[in-house]
Structure 1
Amino acid sequence: MSTSESVRTPAGDAPLTLGEPPARTLGTRDQLGLFGNLGISLLLPVAAVFVVLPDRPLAVTLGAVAVGAVIGAVLLGAGAAAGAREGVPAMVLLRGLLGRRASYLPTAFNLVQCVGWATFEIVIIAEAASRVLDAPRWPFVLAAGVLATAMALRPLGVVRVLSRYAVWAALAAIVYLYVQVLREPLPPLTGGAGTSFWTAADIVIALPISWFPLAADYTRHARSARGAFTGATVGYGIATFVMFTLGVLALAAYGSAGLDVVDALLAVPLGALAVLVLITVELDEAFANLYSTAVSAQNVVARWDRRVLALVVGTVATLLALTFDIAAYEPFLFLIGAVFVPLVGVFVVAYWLLPQGRWDTSDTAPGRLLLLLPWLAGFVAYQLTLPTYFSGVGAGWTTWWSARQGDLGIDPANGWSASLVSLAVAGVLTALLVLPGARRSRRPA
């Protein structure tokens, strides 16, 4: 699977192996278009039921969405900017945090996440398309899997198309759906799964955070760190707020939740056409996850051709999508937050405290195993604040963490933000570990 001397990276596209330098071709507009498109996803209106606070004013729910979008997008932007400065993919960027071999741990988590998200995206595309066209789902699963995999073979070319053309079609469809939804009466929300302002915000934070371990895969091609930060923060943040809000408004207007939101949007005049546009645009999320799975794997197998890896991952995600249960969506979101939110806290604090030139992403990057401790502590803090809820086979996980809450006198209905608690714990512990060494390194010899 390694790249031979006769194989060359297409001009202006992403390198085929980790040993090749990235092309610096993406400007701020490209970044805005890319991350804006990634945030325009039908998964967000479908997940909106988890952020709705029943029997509370609509403004409170929208406030939770706004706060979650801002927090998540700023953290995403920090990772995007670091990727642009260092010019390496996201998992390679973590070598500077943990060392080369220790970076394999977050790489393994990210591989699982990326395959999971790619599967979710293919499911949503196929489910929505089958409802629009009143046809069986499986042909759309196969079509979405094939198209997304093909897009992953020429990623930078796809990014340019998304930023220059697809984003405008998506915006037109969204504006039209907003107009139609807002024409309906918006009675008080009585249905929804949100339990507090901050638990609702946690769901929203989980979406941008889920892209943090992927952002540098694209922003390593950015011309500037500032453009990368602006593109990721503004593009993804606004799209997250807009799409979650669309789902909330649809729930209020039509009383629909989950995938029924898609049916509600189909019922508006020309709704099928607008949803078909969004289904087409949805392919970019699946493509991005497939491409990033391949690039993440190169942190371990640097000489393997990313195109071969993308073909393998695309096949796996497509097969999973044929049997996937959408009911697992909510706990998957919370688990992503529990794993990656504290890692983001550790990374952001360590990266900006260490002096420039101390972030080693080479094959000989030394291990910093002590920084696994704040990551683990942040994960524990997240679970103690809000245990990831599983039913059926995974119910024992929830039961065990709930028992630990009882041992420590933590109210299960505390209403705290698990994300902010986790970030605080991980960030403070990281600062305590990193600051002494950072101060010594800044002293003149």
Structure 2
Amino acid sequence: MSTSDAVRTSTARGDAPLTLTEPPPRSLGFGDALGLWGNLGVSLLLPVAAVFVVLPGRPLTETLGAVVVGALIGALLLGIGAAAGAREGVPAMVLLRGLLGRRTSWLPTAFNLVQCIGWATFEIVIIAEAASRVLDAPRWPFVLVAGVLATLMALRPLGVVRILARYAIWAAAAAVVYLLVDVLSQPLPDTMDDGVATSFWTATDIVIALPISWFPLAADYTRHVRSGRAAFAGASIGYGLATMVMFTLGVLALAAYGSGGFDVIDALLAVPLGALAVLILVTVELDEAFANLYSTAVSAQNVVGRLDRRVAVLVVGTLATLLALSFDIVAYEPFLFLIGAVFVPLVGVFAVAYALTPRGAWDTSDTARTRPALLLPWAAGFVAYQLTLPTFFGGPGSGWTAWWSARQADLGIDPANGWSASLISLAVAATLTALLVLLGVLRRRRAPR
């Protein structure tokens, strides 16, 4: 069977085409989108990240407030990308052709490939780590099982989406509700001593990073949703609510059971029948790993349109599994901040440019014109993020962090400023984009004179 015949066969069966040469089927509605994004938000990585949002010595309600604010902001931004994907009917990295041009869109594609492989690795690690603790067994067999299952799921993405939306979400919801009811029944302290966040807004940044990490993947799935409104509502409501619930679960579990120095997984396992609930969540966690593997393949197709996504999935699934065998979860926090530093300003650039572009004029074709000027607000937003809260590689004393800390000193910026790097970065990128786009519109209007 030829490649074109295989593509038509895949599309006819209602699943995603194997390459970019065929249009995607529009087979998903609001319920499918809501179930998919709700299920993707029910991830053990979120409560594990809760330790980074806890404000030590501050009221517990303040930490929970940061969770709510961060989830709302992140979910709104995610919904913008999801809606655009449904309207244009293309994957996320192809969608960026309308922003930067075809070849220039390869730059964010490269960043996204690194992100997707990293997240897939994280997901496999957390699945294996939780399963090994629950069953008191070595971790490596679970790494292999999780990697193989996630890879197989990524071969039939739309079929998996329907299963997740109809069945898996209810199993995940039952496990989460049980855990929440238990931790809420425990005496909770007014404040917590163990925490990492230095201010309300640094805690908010961590929460924002999780929905933002899905922005460069959202259209890979919502291109199959029948309307932009359904895609926006499904992504923003589904992932937003799940983010609030899962971070809240992590914070409350640490408050109820973490006084002995436990991490979040140990705290959840301390819940009566917690092992069973965690096992359910471990099983459901496979959807996040599958989604990142699939999106890695689809992102690569922005560069090589005829690349068979099945081949790419097999290669990336093998790579992520091998990385997970030796991965150190300690690198999690800087990875989250790095995602925010790269993708938050890109979201600001995209949202403004897309809103100011007439409907039907967003060019995602192979001949999309290059717009290198829009790299400037993206870069400016990244710089603004670093000057507010420098990310680091290898530790706080790394050369990268030291250089940006020196620039903070040059500008008189307090390293402990407590500002939201995400919101400042977003505002800088969005404002500069609006100026560039409007100036470009004025020049085009004056040209005929």
Aligned pair count?
Answer: 444
Which residues in structure 2 correspond to 1:184-263 (within 5 Å)?
A: 184-187=186-189, 188-255=191-258, 260-263=263-266
1:334-349 aligned within 5 A: 334-349=337-352
Aligned equivalents of 1:315, 1:257: Cα separation in 2: 38
Return the offset for 1:438.
Answer: 3.6
Q: How far apart are residue 256 of structure 1 and its match?
A: 5.8
Residues 355 and 438, structure 1, Cα contact 8 Å, conserved in 2: no
Aligned residue runs from structure 1 range 4-403, under 5 A: 5=5, 8-9=9-10, 11-187=13-189, 188-255=191-258, 260-392=263-395, 395-403=398-406
Q: One-letter code of the match for 2:187?
A: P
Show structure 1 runs of 5+ residues with no match: none
CA shift, 1:5, in A, is 3.6
**CA distance in structure 1 between the partners assigned to 2:71 and 2:204 by the alignment:** 8
Instruction: Give the 3 Å change call, closer, same or farther, for CA 259–166 of structure 1 in structure 2.
Output: farther
Residues 86-123 of structure 1, C-alpha deviations (whole Å, 9 max, x = no match):
00000000000000000000000000000000000000
For the residue of structure 2 that corresponds to 1:9, the secondary structure is helix
Q: CA deviation at 1:442?
A: 8.0
Distance 2:121 2:262 in 1: 16
Q: Which amino acid aligns with 1:3?
A: T
How far is 1:6 from its partner? 5.2
Cα distance change on mapping 1:200 and 1:32 into 2, 3 Å: same
Shift of 1:157: 0.3
- For the structure 1 residues 60 and 295, does the alpha-carbon distance in structure 2 shift closer, same or farther, using more than 3 Å as the test? same
Q: Percent identity?
A: 81
Cα distance in 2 for residues equivalent to 1:86 and 1:441? 24
What is the match of residue 3 of structure 2? Answer: 3
Instruction: Quickly say closer, same or farther: Cα 1:394–1:232, change in 2 above 3 A.
Output: farther
TM-score by length of 1: 0.97
Q: CA deviation at 1:394?
A: 7.4
Q: Cα–Cα, structure 1 residues 214 and 12, in superposed 2: closer, same or farther, change >3 Å? A: same
Matches within 5 A, 1:405-444: 405-438=408-441
Instruction: For 1:286, give the aligned amino acid.
Output: A
Taking structure 2 as the reference length, the TM-score comes to 0.96
Cα distance in 1 between the residues matched to 2:364 and 2:84: 12
Which amino acid letter does the alignment assign opposite residue 16 of structure 2?
A: A
Distance 1:23 1:333 in 2: 33
Output the amino acid matched with 2:246. M
SS of 1:365 mapped into structure 2: coil
Describe the superposition over 1:240-273 as per-residue Cα deviations: whole angstroms up to 9, x where unpaired: 0100000100111112699821122112221111
- Mapped partners of 2:442, 2:90: distance in 1: 26
* Separation of aligned partners in 2, 1:404 and 1:156: 47
Deviations, residues 141-197 of structure 1 (Å, cap 9, x unaligned): 000000000000000000000000000000000000011111211112111000000
Unpaired segments ≥5 residues, structure 2:
none
| Alignment partners' CA distance in 1, 2:439 and 2:424 | 24
- Deviations along 1:271-309, whole A, 9 cap, x unmatched? 111111100000000000000000000000100110110
Mapped partners of 1:92, 1:244: distance in 2: 32
Counterparts of 1:393 and 1:265 in 2: how far apart (Å)?
Answer: 30
| Contact 2:257 2:270 (C-alpha < 8 Å) held by counterparts | no
C-alpha distance in 1 between matches for 2:244 and 2:59:
17
Is the Cα contact below 8 Å between 2:349 and 2:430 reproduced in 1? yes
Q: Which is worse superposed, 263-272 or 73-82?
A: 263-272
Q: How far apart are 1:126 and its partner, in Å?
A: 0.2
One-letter identity of the residue aligned with 1:193: V
CA offsets per residue over residues 317-347 of structure 1, 9 Å max, x none?
A: 0000000000000000000000000000000
Is the CA contact (8 Å cut-off) linking 2:155 and 2:294 kept in structure 1?
yes
Name the stretch that deviates more: 261-270 or 15-24: 261-270
Distance in structure 1 (CA, Å) of the matches to 2:434 and 2:109: 23
1:256 and 1:264 in contact (8 A); partners too: no
- My pick for the range that moved more, 182-191 or 96-105, is 182-191
| Residues 256 and 46 of structure 1, relative CA distance in 2, 3 Å threshold | farther
